[in-house]
Amino acid sequence: MATEQDYEKLKEVMEFPAAMTFKVAGVNRENLAQDLIAVVQKYLPGDYIPKEKRSSKGTYNSVSIDVVAQNFEQVETLYKELAKVEGVKMVI
């Protein structure tokens, strides 16, 4: 999990608007990608097409979502809120 120091460093180097990809790793469960998209749309309304990739054994699923953040607060909020989704193990 990112620390407040990590967020401060990131805030110093980012310029907005910023195109970025959130990559989320979680357990392979039904509707994981849709639940993640719902969180993104709450803070950055728009149409999103997630890219999904299942692990070789089918245990985990990675989901990539491309967004354009308008400010650092959106980035910080998305990292924190995506991490709260059921089954999510990591947000990068």
Q: Quick check: 24 and 63 in contact, CB under 8 A?
A: yes
Q: How far apart are CA 38 and CA 22, in angstroms?
A: 14
The pair of three-digit structure tokens given for residue 9, joined into one six-digit string: 């460093």
Q: Where are the domains of the chain?
A: 4-91
- Taking the CA atoms of 36, 73, 13 and 18 in sequence, report the sign of the dihedral they define: positive
pLDDT tens digits for the chain (92 residues)?
667 787 777 778 888 999 999 999 999 999 999 999 999 999 999 999 999 999 999 999 999 999 999 999 999 899 999 999 999 999 99
Q: How far apart are CA 20 and CA 30, in angstroms?
A: 25
We find that the CATH architecture of domain 4-91 is 2-Layer Sandwich (3.30)
The pTM of the full predicted model, rounded to 2 decimals, is 0.87
